[in-house]
């Protein structure tokens, strides 16, 4: 019977939390599903699961976001994540896919975007925005 998809997802995400942290790297799990069946919708912003209290979930899925300041940092994080996913709980399988949706954004590229944004702000008669703290782990989401 094995440990099931839910426990395997929890194992993987717990190991990400302990093994991945490094300066300026952020990742987030947007959602996860586990059950007898787990189906992600076409927009990949939700899905459905089936199951009941006394089963071992056979399917699981998690979708998340990884942001880095350099391609090298992204490659390092992805290698760590692949290694973590490759260590399976008894009678489970897992795989990870990276889609490269968020390009690495060095401080120089971020400053370039800020300069463009402030040009638009100026054209609209708005105030310029100041550069914020570089460390994304200190961002408050505001």
Residue 132: alpha-carbon gap to chain centroid? 22
The answer to whether 62 and 13 have CB atoms below 8 angstroms apart is yes
Dist. CA 110–CA 94, nearest whole Å: 35
pTM above threshold 0.85: no
The pLDDT assigned to 134 comes to 60
Q: What is the pLDDT of residues 20-71, one digit of tens each?
A: 999 888 889 999 999 999 999 999 999 999 999 999 999 999 999 998 989 9
pLDDT surpassing 60 at residue 141: no
pLDDT surpassing 80 at residue 139: no
pLDDT surpassing 90 at residue 75: yes
């Amino acid at each position: 019977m094995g440990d099931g998809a839910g426990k395997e997802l929890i194992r993987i995400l717990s190991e990400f939390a302990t093994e991945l942290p490094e300066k300026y790297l952020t990742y987030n799990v947007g959602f996860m599903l586990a059950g007898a069946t787990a189906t992600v919708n076409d927009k990949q912003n939700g899905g459905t699961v089936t199951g009941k209290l006394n089963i071992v979930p056979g399917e699981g899925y998690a979708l998340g976001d990884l942001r880095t300041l350099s391609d090298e940092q992204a490659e390092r994080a992805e290698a760590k994540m692949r290694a973590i996913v490759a260590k399976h709980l008894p009678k489970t399988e897992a795989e990870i896919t990276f889609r490269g949706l968020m390009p690495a954004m060095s401080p120089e590229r971020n400053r370039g975007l800020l300069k463009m944004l402030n040009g638009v702000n100026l054209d609209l008669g708005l105030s310029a925005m100041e550069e914020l703290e570089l460390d994304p782990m200190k961002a408050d989401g505001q």
